[in-house]
Chain A
Amino acid sequence: MRLQRWHHWRCGFLPDWGRRLSAVGLVGLLLWISADSASSAASTGKTLLVGSEQDFPPFALGQTDATAGGFTVELWRAIARDQGLNYTIRVRSFSETLEEFKAGRVDVMINLAQSEARREFADFTVPHVVMHGAVFVRRGESRIRTEADLADKSIIVINADLAHDYAISRGWQRQLVPVTTAADGFKLLADGRHDAMLISQLAGMQTLRKLGIGNVVPLPAKAGFSQKFSFAVRKGDADLLARLNEGLALTKSSRVYDELYERWFGVYEVRPVTLWDLGKYLWPLALLLLGGGAWLICRQRLERPRVEAVMRESDERLRQLAETQAILDALPAKIVLISPTGVIVAVNMAWARAAQAHGHLGPRHGVGQSYLEVCERAHGDPVVALREAAGDIQRVLRGEATGFFLEYQCHSQGASRWFQLMVVPLHASHLAGAVAMHVNMTALKQAEAVRDESQRLLDKALEVGHIGSWAYEIPAPGDAQGKVIWSAETCRIFGLAPGEFDGRLDTFFDLVHPEDRERVMGATRITVANGRRFDFEYRIRHRNGQERWVRGVADVERDADQQPLRMVGVVQDITDRRQLEEQLRHSQKMEALGQLAGGIAHDFNNILGAVLGNAELAKLQPPGSPVIGDYLDSILNASRRARDLVRQILAFSGRQEQKREPMQLHTVVREALGLMRASVPAAVEFRSNIAVVPSVLANASEIHQVMMNLCTNAWHALQGRPGTITIELAETEVDEALARQHPGLRPGRYVRLIVADNGCGMGSATLARIFEPFFTTKPLGEGSGLGLAVVHGIVRNHDGVIVVSSQPGQGTSFALHFPVFVAEVVELPAQPPPTPRGRGERILFVDDEEPLVIMGKGALERLGYRTTALASPIEALAVFRSRPMEFDLVITDLNMPGLSGTEFARQLRAVRPDIQLVLTTGYSSGITEEVITELGFCELLPKPYDLRTLGETTHRAFNETTLTRRS
C-alpha cells in the first residue's frame, strides 16, 4: 500500500485513514472493556457533576454554568448524549474545579491534562486534544531563543497548569509568576512585565487572538512539555472511563469530532508536525493498546471469538483500503484527498509522480500542505482561474456545494496543456473533506481545437458561398409536422434574423415564391417518399420583399428499416449567378439574333421570291385560268414556311413565354407523329411504341415542336435513303449510375421520349456542338441551324435532360427525359370547340397594311360580323366620329403611320367611352395585360392570327362587353 499519508495532521491527530483504523480497533476494545464492568456511577443513572474551567479558549468558554461552551464542553455534550449520561455542568476557575474534583464533589473534569501526579486521584480517557507546550515572549525579544534561556528569567504560568508543574520540575520555581487565567498572564507579558509565559501553544495562540495582542509570539522551538487533554474521572471509576472512551472513539470515527475540532481550532493554523510529534502522540495510545492486549491475553479463552471477529473486521477494512488505494493509483488522473481545512491528506500515484517531476513539493508530494497553495505553486504561470476557484473549492469542503468543476489552462515548457479539475465532497461516514481530481484534457482539447477550427472554416466557407444548411426532422406518419432547423446563413438568405425562424415547414413554404411553391412542396414530398435527391433552383421571397433565386440540394437519412428520419441539405443564394446568366443569355440572344438577321435572310428571300413570283404569275393568267389555283397554293406553302421560320426564331429567342401545365405526353406525341408521317416520303418508315405515361409539366405546342424538329432532323439524317425513324415514349427510372453519367439527370422517375434514326450518325466533335444555335452540318439553305437549339431550349425549360447517343454511320438517338409530375392530370381537350360566330355585330377594323385589311374584312364577315375595314386610322377616326353608335367593336393595329393604335384608341374613347377595343400586334413582348387594360383595350390579338383566333378573340371582346354592362 503506497498511501502517501500525511503525518502532519493538526496537533498530532492521526490522519483520516489512520484514525479510522485505530477508531475501529478502539471501539472493539472498549466495547469489551465496558461489558466487563460491574456497576458504576454511569450505570446507576445518577446525575454527574461535570467540571469545566472558566475562560480557556477554545477548550472552555464562559464564566457561568449557564454560558458554558467551547470545544471540550461540546465534545462532552456529544459523548454524553451518545452514551445516555445525565449531567450538570459547573463552571469554575481551573484550580477551584480541580480542588472540587479532588474532593469528590465533581465527578468528571472534562479538560484535564494528563500528568503522573494527577494519576494519583484521576483516571484519564484517551486524550481528546494534545497540545504542545510553547514559550511565549514579546516580539523582538532577543535574549530568549530556546527553553534553556529561561533559566534566569521571570516566567508566567497558569497556577496548577501542566506548565506550572513542568517549570517546577525544571527547577525554576523561584522565577515563576502564577496567574489564574491565560488572559491574565498574556496581559502582563504584553504590558512588558516578566520575560516569558509557558503555556500550551494552541491555548496561547487562541488567547492572544481573542485579546488582540500582537506583540507576543511563541518561540519556534517547542517547550519540553506537552499537554494531553483528556476527560478525567475519579480514580477507579472504570465504567464511566470506559463509556467516555467509547463515546470519544465514536465521535472520532464519525465526523462529529472533526466538525467540532474544525469549528473551534480551524482558525489556528496549521503547523507541520513531525514524525516525532506523531510518535509522542502515539505512545499513550500504544500503551493503552498494550494494556488492552494484556487484558486480552488474560481473558483470551473467554473472549477469543469476539476478538477474532474484531480482527477479521479490521483485516477486511485494511484489504478494502488496499484495494481502494490500488484503484486510485491505477488511475491516470491526479487525485488528492483534502481535509476540511484544505490540507492535502493523501495523494495517489499519478499525483506523486507529477509532484516528483515538478520537484517543488518536497518528499511527501505536497501532503500536509495547503491544497490551494500547492495548486498555485504547481504551475509556472499563476493559474488565475484556479485561484478564483478557491472560494468554490472551500464551499465544497464546507459541505455547501455538492461538487466543483473547472477547466483550466496550464502553460509550461512552451507547451499549453489543459486540465479539468473536479472537487467532490467525501461522503464516507468516517471521512470528511473532499477529493480533488486533475484530469489531463490536453489531447481532448487539441482535438476540440482542431474540430472547432474546422467548424469555423466550414462556417466561414458557407457564409462566403452564401450557402445555408438546414435539417428537417421528418415526423412519423400521423404525427404533427416535424421540426426544421436552419443555420444562421440560411436565415440570412431568407432575410430573417438568426433564431427568428420558427422551425415550421409551412413557414419555409410560405417564404417560397408562390409560383414555385407547388414545385418545392412536391419535390419535398417526393424526396421524403422515394428518396429522389432534391436538387433544383427556385425563387424565394426575401424579407425585404425582393425575389431571390436559390438552389436547394437535399437528401434523406433513413433508419435501418428505410424509414425516413430527416432531410438534410443546403440552400445557396444564386441570385447573382442567375442575373449574370440572364445577362449572358440576353447578350447571346442578341448576338444570335444578329446572326439570324443575316442567316435567315437567305431563307426569307427565297420564300419571298416564291410568293412574289407566283403572285405575279397568277396575275399574268387570264381570269378563270385553272393554273391560278396552283400559283396560289405555292404562295400559301411559301407563306406557311415563312410563318414556321418566324415561330422557330421566336421560340429560340424565348420571346414567347409558354405556360406549362401537367399533361400526359402520349397525345401530343401521337399527333406530331401523324403529321410527320404525312409529310415524309414513304421510303422513310416510322416505328413507334407510345405508352400511356404519367403526367409531366409541359406545354403541348412546345412538345409538338420538339417532336417535329427531332423527326425532321432524323429524316434529314437518312439523307434521302430509305431508313427507319423510331419513336418511343415510356416511363423510366433513372438510377444513380445513369445520373452520374449525365449532368442534370437525377435519380428518379422520368417520362422518356426517344427519337432515333438509323441514318448517317455523327462523330463526337459534331455531337458536342449540335445544340449551338446556327450550328448545322447541312448545306447552306437546307437548315437554319436552329432546330436542335430550339429543342434544347424547350427541354431545358421543361426541367428535362437530353441524352444523345450517336456513332458515324450508326444513326442517332435523342432520349428526352421529363421529370414525372406528381399532381393531378389535366387532359387536353380531344376536340376543339367550334369557332364562335357573331350575330351581325358591327366592327370597325383598322390596319395600315392593305392585304390585312382585305383579309380581316373577309374573315370577320365569314364569322358573321358586319365589318367596316380601313387602312388609314385617320380616316377610320373620321368615320367613327361621324357615327359612333354604329360600331360595337373596334379592332386596330398598334403600329400605324400617322396615328398609333394607342392614340387612336384614346381618341375613340373620347368620343365613346364605352366602346370595346381589340389591339392587334405582331410583336407582343413587353405588352402585359395591365398595359392593354391601361391603354383601354379589352383584348390582345397577336399577329399572325388565324380565323379561329380572330373569332375567339372577337367573341371574348363582346362577352366582356356584356359582362361589363351587367355589372
Chain B
Amino acid sequence: MNDILLVEDDTACATMLRAALNHFGHPVVHAADGREALRLYEPQTTRLVIADLLMPEMDGMELIMKLHAREPSVRVIAMTGGGRSGKSETYLYLRMAERLGAVKTLAKPFPLEDLRQAVSECLDVE
C-alpha cells in the first residue's frame, strides 16, 4: 500500500536508490524505463513515483504525462543527471518536468537527505 515506484534505467543508481528508500522505510517497486513503469503503476498501491527523466523506450517526461492522464492526483518526483549537449540541460529538464506535473525535482547527484526530505514531504501531504 505504501509502495514507491522507482523508475531508473541506470542499474547502479537504481540499486542505490532502492537501498536508500528501503533504509528510509519505503517499499520500492523498480521499473527500468517509462513503459515498464506504466505497466507496474497501480493507482491503488503506488503512493509516489520517483522517475529519472532520460531513459530509453519512454522517457520521464512522457511518463509523467501519461501517469497524469491515468491518475491526475499522481505524485511524481523527477530527477536527472543532465542530457547530451550542455550543463544547463539538467535545469531545463527539471523545469519541464515541474510544468508537466512533477511535485519535486532532484538534480543528480544529490545527498540522500534531499531524497528523504522530498519523499517525506510528498507522503506527508497525504
Residue ranges of A at the interface with B (Cβ–Cβ < 8 Å)? 595, 597-599, 601-614, 616-617, 620, 631, 634, 637-638, 641, 774, 778-782
Contacts and interface: CB of A to CB of B under 8 A. Distances in A.
Contacts of A613: 13, 16-17, 19-20, 109, 112
Contacts of B23: 617, 620
Q: Which 6 A-B pairs have the closest CB atoms?
A: A779-B56, A605-B81, A610-B12, A609-B109, A613-B16, A605-B108
A608 B108 contact: yes
Contact of A606 (B59, B108, B111): B108
8 contacts: A595-B85, A598-B85, A605-B80, A609-B109, A612-B109, A637-B12, A781-B56, A782-B9
B56 to A, nearest CB: 3
Given A603-B81, A617-B19, A779-B55, 17 more contacts: A598-B86, A601-B87, A604-B81, A609-B110, A610-B10, A610-B12, A610-B15, A610-B16, A613-B109, A617-B23, A620-B23, A631-B19, A637-B12, A779-B9, A780-B54, A781-B54, A781-B56
B57 interface: yes
B39 interface: no
Interface in B52-104: 54-57, 59, 80-87, 89-90
A608 to B, nearest CB: 4
Interface in B23-39: 23
A593 to B, nearest CB: 13
Nearest to B89: A598
Nearest to A612: B109
B54 A609 contact: no
Contacts of B19: 613-614, 617, 631
A780 B33 CA distance: 11
Contact of A605 (B56, B82, B112): B82
A607 to B, nearest CB: 7
A598 B83 contact: yes
A617 B109 contact: no
The residue among A595, A603, A780 with the most chain B CB atoms within 10 A of its own CB is: A780
Interface residues of B, number: 30
A296 B85 CA distance: 128
Contacts of B54: 602, 780-781
A617 B81 contact: no
A612 B111 contact: yes
Contact of B12 (A595, A602, A638, A782): A638
Given A617-B16, A779-B56, A605 B109 contact: yes
**Which secondary structure dominates where chain B touches chain A?**
loop
Given A604-B81, A779-B56, A617 B20 contact: yes
A781 B10 contact: yes
A597 B83 CA distance: 10
A641 B9 CA distance: 15
A717 to B, nearest CB: 15
Contact of B87 (A597, A607, A637): A597
A86 B87 CA distance: 132
B87 A609 contact: no
The residue among A598, A599, A611, A778 with the most chain B CB atoms within 10 A of its own CB is: A598
A71 to B, nearest CB: 115
Given A598-B82, A602-B82, A610-B13, A616 B112 contact: yes
B16 A598 contact: no
Interface string B97-124: 0000000000011111000000000000
Given A617-B19, A617-B23, A779-B57, A606 B85 contact: no
Contacts of A607: 12
A782 B81 contact: no
A595 B57 CA distance: 23
Contacts of B85: 595, 598-599
B102 to A, nearest CB: 18
Given A613-B20, A617-B19, A780-B55, A608 B109 contact: yes
Given A780-B54, A780-B59, A598 B111 contact: no
A258 B110 CA distance: 125
A774 B19 CA distance: 33
A579 B109 CA distance: 42
Contacts of A614: 16, 19
Given A609-B109, A634-B15, A641-B12, A601 B82 contact: yes
Given A598-B89, A616-B111, A606 B13 contact: yes
Contacts of B15: 610, 634
B14 to A, nearest CB: 9
Contacts of A601: 81-83, 87, 90
B12 A634 contact: yes
A781 B9 contact: yes
A457 B32 CA distance: 69
Given A612-B111, A780-B55, A606 B10 contact: yes
Contacts of B20: 613, 616-617
The residue among B55, B57, B109 with the most chain A CB atoms within 10 A of its own CB is: B109
A602 B16 contact: no
A778 B111 CA distance: 29
